[in-house]
Amino acid sequence: MGIAAIDVGAIAQAASTGLLLGGIYALSALGLSLVLGVMRLVNLVHGEVTVLGAYLGLLALSTFGLDPLLALPLVFVVVGLAALPVHRLVLAPLAGRGEEAALLTTFALAVIMQNLYIQWFTGDTRAITRPYSRSTIEVLGLRLPGVYLMGFAISLGCTIAVYALMTRSGFGRRLRAGAEDPMAAGVVGVDVGRVHAQTFALGAGLAAMGGVLLGLAFSFTPTSGTAFLLVGFAIVVVGGLGSVAGTFIGGTMLGVLQSLGALMFGDGYRGFIGLVLFLLVLALRPNGLFGRTAAT
């Protein structure tokens, strides 16, 4: 489709859909942003944790008849608790041994999880199908996917809750102290190791919740985590490491640009637009559009 042939209505439709989808992306990317900003850990297993959330949402529906949206709190708790022993047994012993050791370890975990998914769920393409996952709602003359609207609202609510947690709680103060200066935080009594474990668990839980929403919106396979990870990195770079508000805004920006790019140049350019944005921001503002911060 040529650029000249695109009318204002089509642009508004694409931008609105992209805005909502970007909000869903942001929920998964929020966990990646927190882990990067607080722990300085490039968490390559993040995409596979997102896929785990999608599979858990599918299991909740197929095995227990529980609607995936109602299962979101359960998925958050289960995956968050499962992440704690992973951090304690696998990642915590690598503290102080350089970034490469933790990076390679998360890569190994990603490969292991991909193979486990193939063993448990086969390599078939799956999708979480509910009536609202294929319905559309008309808003101001725009036809918007119902699951996008609900996912955006849930993501926004979770972002506000995490922001409040980070700025108005003792945990948030300890987290910011540990992120800014771990040695000084330890001197004044902050258990930095425990804060890192809690941050890793929180990030995993948020990623899994995002995975449920993405599983409602798209089909997925055991290897879909790579694509989710790339989108997450693009959002984190745009929004700034550790920035809760920046991550949400970055996600919506990426979603809008991807949708407009797909409209103007074809759907095959959707991922290309995201990578171009990633590289531009990385080159011009390495700390992100909203700066590198500790969970604010």
User: Which DSSP state fits 132?
Assistant: G
Confidence of residue 104 (pLDDT cuts 50, 70, 90): very high
Q: Which amino acid is at 92?
A: A
Contacts of 184 (CB under 8 A, 6+ apart): 177
**pLDDT exceeds 90 at position 37:** no
The tokens of 161 are what?
Answer: 């809750």
Cβ atoms 178, 196 nearer than 8 A: yes
What is the reported pTM?
0.90
**pLDDT exceeds 60 at position 166:** yes
CB atoms within 10 A of CB 245: 17
- H or E element in which residue 143 lies: strand 142-145
Give CA–CA dist 19/94, Å, rounded.
39
Confidence of residue 290 (pLDDT cuts 50, 70, 90): low
Domain ranges of the chain: 25-231
pLDDT score recorded for residue 2:
47
Q: Which of 123-132, 181-190, 202-211, 222-231 has the lowest mean pLDDT?
A: 181-190
Mean pLDDT of 237-246: 83
Task: Single out the residue of 268, 271, 260, 270 nearest to residue 6, CA to CA.
Answer: 260
pLDDT score recorded for residue 62:
92
